[in-house]
Homo-oligomer: A and B are copies of this chain.
């Protein structure tokens, strides 16, 4: 690998998304096209809640390693976005509303007792990665947000159109993400482009983004396997009632 220009590095990062971002996963196609049952949407909301709930832990451990108040303040806004400023506010609370909106019990969702092992292992791997890898790679792993506005627009439009158990209130999680994600990306992408200054670092940030795509993708593999086809729910996991 030869040293990439800043623009070429950004293009290489975007190419990873074009090949590996989870908007390409067959589970999301079905979700957005209205092909899932309410029980399958419940399984998605339940498992994805665990991911949402761990994001501030990931961001806090990253923030702890940032060297200046300027950088920490920048990263802190992600935690504010997720945890809010008061009970019931923030992205996690809004995801809980989504889960309740599709018919799940909030306490059950928060307990994470019914999530798939594949969800837990993937999400925990992400939190560890950010804790343990060099700061540059930890920041690069957040760059899947580059690809999220498209998937969110598709998802909200598709779910509102196709599912009568979903309304705009249920999907309130996503609206703020459309402005939060680009703001977060602008900072992280600039950081990565200005700090990945040799080929080894450039390879490392590309690998970090591939890793993060794997984290998102394998969660959908696990959901599809358990709740669509062949439909083998692992022992102890969420068993949908007939809804």
Contact = CB atoms under 8 A, between A and B. Distances in A.
Tallying the copies of this chain within the complex gives 2
B122 A117 contact: yes
Contacts of A125: 120-121, 124-125
Contacts of A25: 232
Contacts of A224: 225, 230, 232
Contacts of A218: 116-118, 121, 222, 234
A118 B236 contact: no
Interface string A154-171: 000000000000000000
Contact of A221 (B26, B214, B215, B232): B232
A132 to B, nearest CB: 10
A236 B117 contact: no
Contacts of A19: 235
A117 B117 CA distance: 13
Contact of A215 (B117, B215, B225, B228): B117
Contact size class for A? Answer: 20 to 34
Given A117-B122, A121-B125, A221-B118, A214 B229 contact: no
Contacts of A121: 118, 121-122, 124-125, 215, 218
A217 B121 CA distance: 12
6 contacts: A118-B218, A121-B125, A121-B215, A128-B128, A218-B222, A221-B226
Nearest to A237: B214
A78 interface: no
A234 B221 contact: yes
